[in-house]
Amino acid sequence: MSTDLGMPMPPAKPAPPFPPEVRARLEVDAKEVIGRYPQARSALLPLLHLVQAEEGYVTGTGIEFCADMLGLTAAEVSAVSTFYTMYRRRQGGDFHVGVCTNTLCAVMGGDEIFASLKDHLGIGNKETTADGVVTLEHIECNAACDYAPVVMVNWEFFDDATPQSAKELVDDLRAGKHAVPTRGARLCTFRDTSRILAGFPDERPGAVDEGGAGGAASLVGLRIANGTQADEPARLTPARRPPTEDVAKDAPASPSSHDAPARTAESDPAHPAPPTGPATDQDGDQAP
Amino acid sequence: MTEPSLLTPVLSANWDEHQPWTLDTYRRGGGYDGLRKALAMHPDEVIQTVKDSGLRGRGGAGFPTGMKWGFIPQNDGKPHYLVVNADESEPGTCKDIPLMYANPHVLIEGVIIASYAIRSEHAFIYVRGEVVPVLRRLHNAVREAYAAGYLGKNVLGSGLDLELTVHAGAGAYICGEETALLDSLEGRRGQPRLRPPFPAVAGLYASPTCVNNVESIASVPPILNKGVEWFRSMGSEKSPGFTLYSLSGHVKRPGQYEAPLGVTLRQLLDLAGGVREGHRIKFWTPGGSSTPMFTDEHLDVPLDYEGVGAAGSMLGTKALQIFDETVCVVRAVLRWTEFYEHESCGKCTPCREGTYWLTQLLTRLERGEGTEQDLETLLDVADNILGKSFCALGDGAASPIQSSLKYFRDEYLAHFEHGGCPFDTAASTAWASTAPASTGAGAHS
């Protein structure tokens, strides 16, 4: 999808709006978000999370919606959405699996975990499994270095990971089984996660209290000071709860590896997404 | 043997209690008592108390917190804003996330006290987006605080009106830089601003704004509650108080160690069970990847602002990343450099272009295809970034390169001689056998 100059093609026409009932619902949410700020434009990052919660990624439709709500141009909104790595530019999986490969996690085994997941899933960086469940990405430092190497799923912590635990984790996700973070609540889908990021609290009963106060590393200094630290190393391979329940999936399965930026919203069935191309990393990032 | 009594858990003191993130648990331990004391004082007295405590910013720069508050002009007719920088993203740094996850109320109490002091009626917590468990706890704690009358109209009958908005970022290291954070909070690309004007004069929406790190703000309630003398009884004259040191990497018990400023890595390692079995420390960072690295020569450097500065680095975020002799320093530095290249916002040419070329040079060096001349070029490029951009991201990119060449120049050379990396990457993993690593395998690809 490029011109001879290698530049992205301009959209053929403005992105279609959300269907009226979707727009009406999102407008209520958007106004609530805007109301939290002294100046409306501050709501842009949360609104981008909100439209991502609606469609799974930031589409032209979502961008137009944000622009409309804030009195901005689509170009102004696009400029912001493309600056931040958490906004997807094409459809991805229900579960975003991030493997930290910044220096400390990398040397502690993050590189090996990332390589083994690529091999196990048969996909590359920022690509999605054919069943639309898992999008794999290597990520930067996620502020959990004392639990290295770290894997994040939908931005919940899976601390002290190993290649084996990571492979079991993605297998569980693809089998529709619950995977329980070491820190965080039972997983919800990528879209539901995006809604929390938009500033709408997780209303699932008990979710706030799941995951405890932190693992052994968080508590080690306190426990030594209190004389309650056992003498074994704090670094333990976490035991995950046996997978039993099925995860409710409300998002339709999505094919992977669309060219970015994709121009078609799911809300616009008249303009289907371009065909799935060869699986490549559109953003030019190199796997480490 | 270092005595466990060296440790001084304050912010982490209740983390082992039942559900420490709840308002009930926090209040049982004296939570929000500091706020009541603050509200009984004049706002200027609160600022003076924090000045007298000597509390210095825990986000890296170490600027005195009370002085920062004092810079906010008063009676200027403009709204004032408090913005908490919870964008913790500096590689190696992992203190604010566990703090907000386990004990979000200590931050919220600090926010209310700080807002009262600087006369702010709207405060923000800008938390990086990639930590949903923390966001969940913050949402809940803010909701609890509103319900209990700590936030909203007429806080505890004091006349203070305060709104607190929890704002999730969207993935950009640069937003930890305070002016980039403000641009991001205004709904823009997170790019640093030229200073002056400083945020205290023209910050959020061009109004006087105080941007403080999570740990700085969270340290305020205990100061108000227990007093300046108590706080100054810990640490040193110029770096008083307690702080969270985060040990990670090749240590037996990585994690959070809250101790007085000025403790040494030797003492902390002693408590942490030392470097992992059968290995020895090779290099470490005192405060994240942007602070020049140290070696085993520096185990007795006092980890306070002056001590680390005098030894040629910076205390930074007290992110003590420990690397043992199995780790190739060139690999480590290349990976950090790739990070800075990826995260450079693109605004300033020296940083945008320089980090690109640093990555190219280091990649070639790591493959063993470099020359000795490349090392000079590397230093030249680093020198052309350092101090020549709007913000400190570029400086951070130069630090690991300059410091690693200072201490490990021979290791760079060994890559040419070996025709590649002489280290076995499998030996550094958390699951590597504890037997001393075999080096020279050249298994890294």
- The Cα angle at residue B211 between residues B209 and B213, in degrees rounded to 5: 165
Residues 6+ apart with CB under 8 A from B242: B8, B10, B11, B219, B231, B234, B235, B258, B259, B260, B261
- Check whether residue B180 and residue B58 sit in a common domain: yes
- Check whether residue A101 and residue A182 sit in a common domain: yes
Give the closest-approach CA distance of B86 to chain A in angstroms: 11
Per-residue model confidence (pLDDT) at position A242:
36
Give the closest-approach CA distance of B249 to chain A in angstroms: 6
Q: Select the residue from A42, A107, A113, A167 to test the B interface by mutation, using most B Cβ atoms within 10 A.
A: A107
- Check whether residue B192 and residue B80 sit in a common domain: yes
How many domains is chain B built from? 3
Mean of the per-residue pLDDT values for chain A?
A: 84
In sequence order, what are the beta bridge partners of B166? Answer: B125
CB contact (8 A) between residue B184 and residue A143? no
Asked if A154 reaches chain B (Cβ–Cβ under 8 Å), the answer is: yes
Residues 6+ apart with CB under 8 A from B50: B65, B66, B69, B117, B220, B223
Residues in chain B with CB shorter than 8 Å from the CB of A209 are 19, 21
Q: Domain for residue B436, yes or no?
A: no
Residue scoring higher pLDDT (A261 or A94): A94
How many domains is chain A built from? 2
- Check whether residue A70 and residue A184 sit in a common domain: no
The pairing of strands B294-295 and A127-128 is: unpaired
Name the band, by pLDDT with cuts 50, 70 and 90, for residue A8.
Answer: low
Per-residue model confidence (pLDDT) at position B357:
98
Per-residue model confidence (pLDDT) at position B423:
97
- Check whether residue B292 and residue B223 sit in a common domain: no
Place of tokens 């990971």: A161
Which CA distances in Å does B64 have to A206, B34, B48, B68? Answer: 40, 20, 12, 6
Candidate from B130, B255, B331 with C-beta closest to A218: B255
Per-residue model confidence (pLDDT) at position A211:
96
Task: Give the dihedral sign, CA A231/A105/B263/B269.
Answer: positive
Candidate from B7, B136, B430 with C-beta closest to A221: B7
Report the CATH number that the domain containing residue A67 is assigned in CATH. Answer: 1.10.10.1590
- Check whether residue B185 and residue B306 sit in a common domain: no
Task: Mark which of B192, B212, B231 sits at the end of a domain.
Answer: B231
- The Cα angle at residue B355 between residues B408 and A113, in degrees rounded to 5: 70
In terms of phi and psi (left: phi > 0; alpha: psi -120 to 50; beta: otherwise), the region of A71 is left
Per-residue model confidence (pLDDT) at position B76:
96
Residues 6+ apart with CB under 8 A from A269: none
Give the DSSP H/E element, type plus range, for residue B133.
helix B132-147
Residues in chain A with CB shorter than 8 Å from the CB of B172 are 83-85
Per-residue model confidence (pLDDT) at position B365:
96
Residues 6+ apart with CB under 8 A from B361: B370, B374, B377, B378, B381
Task: Give the dihedral sign, CA B301/B307/B311/B314.
Answer: positive
In sequence order, what are the beta bridge partners of B385? Answer: none
CB contact (8 A) between residue A108 and residue B249? yes
Percent of chain A with pLDDT over 70: 75
Which CA distances in Å does A149 have to A106, A152, A161, B254, B329? Answer: 7, 10, 6, 12, 18
Residue scoring higher pLDDT (B438 or A209): A209
Chain segment A63-117, per-residue pLDDT in tens: 999 999 999 999 999 999 999 999 999 999 999 999 999 999 999 999 999 999 9
Locate A123 and state its tokens: 């996909």
Q: Domain for residue A288, yes or no?
A: yes
Per-residue model confidence (pLDDT) at position B59:
94
Report the CATH number that the domain containing residue B396 is assigned in CATH. Answer: 1.20.1440.230
The domain of A30 spans 1-91+258-288
Per-residue model confidence (pLDDT) at position A12:
55
- Check whether residue B153 and residue B224 sit in a common domain: yes
Q: Looking at the predicted structure, is the pLDDT value of residue A269 above 80?
A: no
Per-residue model confidence (pLDDT) at position A14:
77
- Check whether residue A103 and residue A182 sit in a common domain: yes
B257-269: b (≥16 Cβ within 10 Å) or e: bbbbbbbbbebbb
- Check whether residue B192 and residue B251 sit in a common domain: no
Interface of A with B in 78-97 (CB under 8 A): 79-80, 83-87
Report the CATH number that the domain containing residue A101 is assigned in CATH. Answer: 3.40.30.10
Q: Looking at the predicted structure, is the pLDDT value of residue A15 above 80?
A: yes
Rounded Cα–Cα distance for residues B371 and B398 (Å) = 20
Rounded Cα–Cα distance for residues B155 and B146 (Å) = 9
- Check whether residue B211 and residue B350 sit in a common domain: no
Per-residue model confidence (pLDDT) at position B228:
98
Name the band, by pLDDT with cuts 50, 70 and 90, for residue A229.
Answer: confident
Interface of A with B in 249-288 (CB under 8 A): 285, 288
Residue scoring higher pLDDT (A279 or B432): B432
The pairing of strands B163-168 and B122-127 is: parallel
Asked if A218 reaches chain B (Cβ–Cβ under 8 Å), the answer is: yes
Interface of A with B in 172-191 (CB under 8 A): 181, 183-185
CB contact (8 A) between residue A288 and residue B271? no
* Residue numbers in chain B where pLDDT is lower than 50: 437-445
Answer yes or no: are the C-beta atoms of B256 and B95 closer than 8 Å: yes
Asked if A230 reaches chain B (Cβ–Cβ under 8 Å), the answer is: no
Report the CATH number that the domain containing residue B51 is assigned in CATH. Answer: 3.40.50.11540
Answer yes or no: are the C-beta atoms of B85 and B178 closer than 8 Å: yes
- Check whether residue B211 and residue B254 sit in a common domain: no
Task: Mark which of B231, B262, B289 sits at the end of a domain.
Answer: B231
Rounded Cα–Cα distance for residues A193 and B408 (Å) = 44
Question: Could you give the ipTM of this predicted complex?
Answer: 0.95
CB atoms within 10 A of CB A211: 22
Report the amino acid identity of residue A251. A
CB contact (8 A) between residue B131 and residue A185? no
Candidate from A107, A183, A198 with C-beta closest to B327: A107
CB contact (8 A) between residue B165 and residue A196? no
Name the band, by pLDDT with cuts 50, 70 and 90, for residue A26.
Answer: very high
Rounded Cα–Cα distance for residues B69 and B46 (Å) = 10
Q: Domain for residue A196, yes or no?
A: no
Query: Considering only CA atoms, which of B423, B25, B37, B15 is closest in space to residue B225?
Result: B37
- Check whether residue A78 and residue A112 sit in a common domain: no
Q: Looking at the predicted structure, is the pLDDT value of residue A11 above 80?
A: no
Per-residue model confidence (pLDDT) at position B439:
44
Per-residue model confidence (pLDDT) at position B3:
81
